[in-house]
Every structure is written in C-alpha cells, then in structure tokens.
Chain A
Amino acid sequence: MTVAAVSAPKGIAGRALGNRSLMAGLVILALIILLAVLAPWISPFDPNDQDPVLSLGAPNAEHWFGTDFFGRDVLSRVIWGARVSLFVGAVSTAISMLVGGTIGIVSGYLGGRFDQTVMAVMDVLLSFPQLIMGLIIVALLGANLGDLILAIAITAVPPFARVARGPTLSLKERDFVEACRALGFSNGRIMLVHILPNVLDDLIVMGSLWLATAIRTEASLSFIGLGLPPPTATWGSIIREGFENLLDAPWLAVFPSLAVLVVMLALNMIGDGLRDATDPKAAVS
C-alpha cells in the first residue's frame, strides 16, 4: 500500500512568505523605516538649515530633491519628515487598534442594550468624514504632537470597533465559548484569551490599511495648517509649503507627495497580502 506524498498544508506563515505583494510591501516599508531611523546619519543636510542664496533651487547633484523657499534641503526634510509622519501614523493606529478592538470585543460579547448604545455612538463618529473629524478634534485640543496623535487615533476607533465586534458576535455563540464557561473562565478571561486571538488577524489586516490612512490624515491636517507648527518637517507640512510655490518649484511638493504615495502603496500591498494569507478560504484553494 503506497500513499501519495501529501505536502503539508502551508500555515499562515508559509502563505505569507509566498505572497509577493506582501513581501514587496514589507521590503519597501522596511527601507523607509530604516531611512527614518537613520535620519541623523544619512540626511545630507540639517533639515532646518536656511540659506537664502539657495532659495527655490532646482534638483541638482548636491541637493537631489532641490531646495525650498528658505533654501532648506528638501531631501533632508523628507527624510526627517518620515520620522514624524511614520511615528504619528504608527502610534495613532496602535492606539485606535487597542481602544477600538477592546470596545468592539466587549460590546459584541456583552451584547444587549450596552452593545446597542456603544455601537450607536460609534456610528455617529463614523458618519463624520475622517478629515473633518480630525479637524474638529485638533481644533478642540490644539496642535502639538500628543494631541495630533490623539485626534488621528480617535477618528479610527469606530472602524476598528466594527471590525472587532462582527466576529465576536458569532464567536460568542460558538461551542468553545460555552465550554470555557463550563470550565469556570470569567468573561474577561474568555474575551482576552479565547476571543481576541480569533479576532486578531482581522485587526492586524485592518491596522496595516489604516496606518496608510493615518499617515494620509496627518499629511492632510498638516497640509491645511492644523498639523505640527513649523519648522518641524512632516510630509504634510513640506507639501503645504511646496504648494505655495507649486508653479515655480514643483519639486517641493512632488517629492514629499511621492513619499506619502509610496508608503501608502506599500501598506496597502501589506494589508492585501496579509488578508490573503490569513483568509481560511484562500488556504483551501
């Protein structure tokens, strides 16, 4: 009796490694994070060094991305700006994932009136366009780093709550949750140890996509002047400064915009790839 060699089914890790879009996205993102981390050593100039002689200089061998109105090196500003933009995006996404995920799981698990009330509040928040929402919160709180992060985080809480609540609703009816209760586990333990791991993959996929949105929101808020005050370089603020001279010196706005574009592309590739890798239906085919 011979049995055909059956290749072991690939786990999530195996599928993730085989996913080109995911891998490409991760490599691009890793490079950009590396640039941001190494900014003090690799940026060719001080991002805030002004030199009126070089005002609005076109890209050349010395200043690859050109110089802005104050004669600051745009490449250096984009590299330093990556630090702020990525930091704000990552921290605010982490906060909204944590808060939104908690709200979604608790609300879905407890159900009843509590769930209805919480989700009604989330729906109201969700009905504001993200930028408007961010605008309102920044206007209320002010524009320093902490408040900016908080504002962006709050705008993303409702979507995370929704994503976590959906699967929780069906998970809590599953037999294994009943078995957990029969073994004496408290509701808190059931939610944290037994339901969260089932919801986590959805939250992570969502997180990678929302990181892109958070970076864009930061850029948008900075662009309309509600971001960090000058001279701090963020991608949004550089684009805004460049926008004023868009016809004379397009490179000022184009290069930071490209940076935003590349990061968003990478994050979306990661998000799509992760979704494919964690989708149990994809695993069958």
Chain B
Amino acid sequence: MSNVVPLKTPPALAVKDLTTGLRIRGAWHEAVRGVSFEVAPRETVALVGESGCGKSLTAMSVMGLLPAKVGKILTGSVTVDGREMVGLAERELESLRGNLVSMIFQEPMTSLNPVLPVGFQIAETLRRHRGLDGAAARAEVLRLMNRVQIPAAARRIDDYPHQFSGGMRQRVMIAMAVACRPKVLLADEPTTALDVTIQAQVLNLLAELQAEDGMAVLFITHNLGVVASIAQRVVVMYGGDVVETAQVEDFFARPSHPYSAALLSSVPRADRRPEALEPIPGQVPTLLQMPAGCRFQSRCPQVMARCVERPPLVPVGGRADHRMRCWLGVPAGAEGEGA
C-alpha cells in the first residue's frame, strides 16, 4: 500500500489516495483518482502533465478550493504539516489558506485587484491572518516587497497593479502568498505567462524564499525545462492518474512509463537532433470517454491486452523511489503489489 517514496523528515504536504470527482450532467466522474505523493520541507516536487490531466484539480483539492456543487473530494486525505485538510469546515480551511498553505497562479496580470494599491493587497493577508494593521502592517509589507526584490519598494507600495510589469506583479503575488510564511506553497504554472528571462528570475526568487523559510513547494507545470531546473522529484499525471514518480535525474535519464517517454521525446533537447521530436498522437480523452483500465491505452504505442485492467503502481528497476503505473513493469502472469 505504500506507493509513496519514504522520506527521512516528516512531509510538509502528504496527499494519500486522493480521489476527486467532478459532476458532469448529474453524474460524478473521477477526475483525479487515487493520487498519492509527499513533499518534504525545502523540497520542490514538480507535478507534470498536459492540460486536463488533473494537476490543477489536485492543487485545488489540496487547497479545499474545489468549485462548489460540481467538484468534491470523494476519498483520500491531504495533510499539511500534519493537519488533515479533508473534511474541515470552510471557516477552518479559510484560516489555514494563505497561512499554512498558499498558492500562486498562472496569470499575474489578472490575479491582482485592479482598483487597490499593491501594498494594500499584500497587507490584506497580514490583516487576515496575523491581525497586523496600520504602521506595523505597512512596515511588514515593505519588508516583504524588499524580500521579493521589488525595486524601490518604498516608492511603489501605493502604486496600482497596472503600473507594474508582469514579472513584478508575479512578485507581488508571491509576496502575498508567502506573507505568513506558509509551510507549503502550491505554484500553479506561475511562470507560464512570463518572458523566459523573467521566468528565470521568478524561479530563482522562489528558490531563495524556499531556502530561507524551508517551504515545501509543489510546482505544477507542463514545462519540462523548468522541471529540470528547479525540482528534486517529479510526479507525472495522466488522465487523473499518477503514472510515474521519480527523482528528477532518474526521470530524465530513464523515463519508464510510455507516457513519460513520449512526453520527453516531444520536447526539444540540446543533446538530441531536432528531427527526433515526436508529438504524442491524439489528445487526452474527456472524462466521459475515459477508457477502463489504463487511461493512456488509447494513445500508447506499447498497448497490450492487459491494459484494459488498471495497472498497479510498480517499482522501476527495483528502486523504491522510482515507480510507474504500467503493466510493462509487471512480469507477465504476475500480479502487481496492488493499486
């Protein structure tokens, strides 16, 4: 049953057998099924997959921010710093969000309120969770703005979001998210909307903050280049399943699940000839058309008869910290250790 990599320190974020349902035309469909992973303090885990694979939904489940009525956690548990998040009342969740666990988003251009000064918006988090107000809040906001390296913070504290560039706005968002020193930061493609140079700066900033505060970072992305530069471990999702989890070096050296291998050969790499680029044919099936068994079978080049059954998560090459959910890892005739 232990399909997570054992960690030496207790994890800051532990997701165990998380199954999240979406209601489509009155019926619940499992959009995230049985997802398990852990993130240790100071560690960055990349959650990778293409659009619709369930990575954002996983993050929303962790935050308890699923859209009411159409999304809910069906089974499983999410613990942040040892505290169970699933089943908490909305009021308790609110006091933990932005405090114990925070999130930054993809679009810095629209994630800030256009009619409020940025300093006021950063101070909101402090007012909400730390009861700071007035001069104390302002001093703390200035410190935070300096910490996220916004130049001339004292002069810019009362400026409005439209007076900032995209990269600066993302820094403001980061300042809001880390204001209360959360144990866990979820970053949902925070650099996708930024220029490559700005992207690198923002990633560096996140790494610095993480080193200072010891945050655990769950970095959601589809950009494998970013994964290679910031993450220690990778969790690959497809169709709501975790299909492979590995240390980042292992993952790039020996991608084992057919989907991971296909994903890697579809991005350009300096050490390969450009002709070697291979797109993955087809698209992720919609939730309503999801095949039984392995959800990648409709696009898998190595599909076989057994794929109609759901494959177990099995160790790759006998290593406990590298696992994949594929029948290729199970000797013919043998059963896996269970899903």
A179 to B95, CA, bound (A): 15
Residues of B within 8 A of A275 (CB): none
Q: Does B94 contact A (CB under 8 A)?
A: yes
B134 smallest CB distance to A (angstroms): 16
Residues of A within 8 A of B93 (CB): 184
A11 to B66, CA, bound (A): 38
B141 smallest CB distance to A (angstroms): 14
Q: Does B173 contact A (CB under 8 A)?
A: yes
Residues of A within 8 A of B110 (CB): 174-176
Q: Does A63 contact B (CB under 8 A)?
A: no
Task: List A161-191 residues whose CB lies under 8 Å from chain B.
Answer: 174-176, 178-186, 189
In the complex, residue of chain A having the shortest beta-carbon distance to the beta carbon of B179: A183
Residues of A within 8 A of B91 (CB): 186
Q: How large is the interface on A (under 10, 10 to 19, 20 to 34, 35 or more residues)?
A: 10 to 19
Residues of B within 8 A of A175 (CB): 105, 107, 110-111
A184 to B129, CA, bound (A): 8
Q: Would you mind naming 24 contact pairs between A and B with Cβ atoms under 8 Å apart?
A: A175-B110, A175-B111, A176-B113, A176-B114, A178-B105, A178-B111, A180-B124, A182-B102, A182-B105, A183-B97, A183-B98, A183-B124, A184-B93, A184-B94, A184-B98, A184-B99, A185-B94, A185-B128, A186-B94, A193-B124, A194-B113, A197-B113, A197-B116, A198-B113
Q: Does B63 contact A (CB under 8 A)?
A: yes
A204-217 vs B: 1/0 string, CB under 8 Å? Answer: 00000000000000
A182 to B220, CA, bound (A): 16
Q: Does B115 contact A (CB under 8 A)?
A: yes
Tell me which of B95, B102, B103, B111 contacts A176 (CB under 8 A).
Answer: B111
A112-130 vs B: 1/0 string, CB under 8 Å? Answer: 0000000000000000000
B307 smallest CB distance to A (angstroms): 37
| Partner-A contacts on B (CB < 8 A) | 63, 65, 91, 93-99, 102-103, 105, 107, 110-116, 124-125, 128-129, 173, 176-177
A198 to B160, CA, bound (A): 13
Report yes or no: A185 in contact with B124, Cβ–Cβ below 8 A.
yes
Given A179-B173, A182-B65, verify A194-B116 contact (CB < 8 Å). yes
Q: Is the interface of A mostly helix, strand, loop or mixed?
A: helix
Residues of A within 8 A of B177 (CB): 182-183
In the complex, residue of chain B having the shortest beta-carbon distance to the beta carbon of A11: B160
B337 smallest CB distance to A (angstroms): 36
Residues of B within 8 A of A186 (CB): 91, 94
8 additional A-B pairs beyond A175-B107, A176-B112, A183-B125, beta carbons within 8 Å, are A178-B65, A179-B176, A181-B65, A182-B105, A184-B95, A184-B98, A194-B116, A197-B115
A175 to B111, CA, bound (A): 5
Given A183-B176, A184-B97, A185-B94, verify A198-B114 contact (CB < 8 Å). yes
In the complex, residue of chain B having the shortest beta-carbon distance to the beta carbon of A201: B115
A185 to B124, CA, bound (A): 9
Residues of B within 8 A of A176 (CB): 110-114
Report yes or no: A184 in contact with B96, Cβ–Cβ below 8 A.
yes
Given A184-B129, A189-B128, A194-B116, verify A179-B97 contact (CB < 8 Å). no
A181 to B59, CA, bound (A): 14
Report yes or no: B111 in contact with A179, Cβ–Cβ below 8 A.
yes
Top 8 nearest A-B pairs by Cβ distance?
A: A183-B98, A184-B97, A184-B98, A175-B110, A182-B103, A175-B111, A179-B111, A184-B94
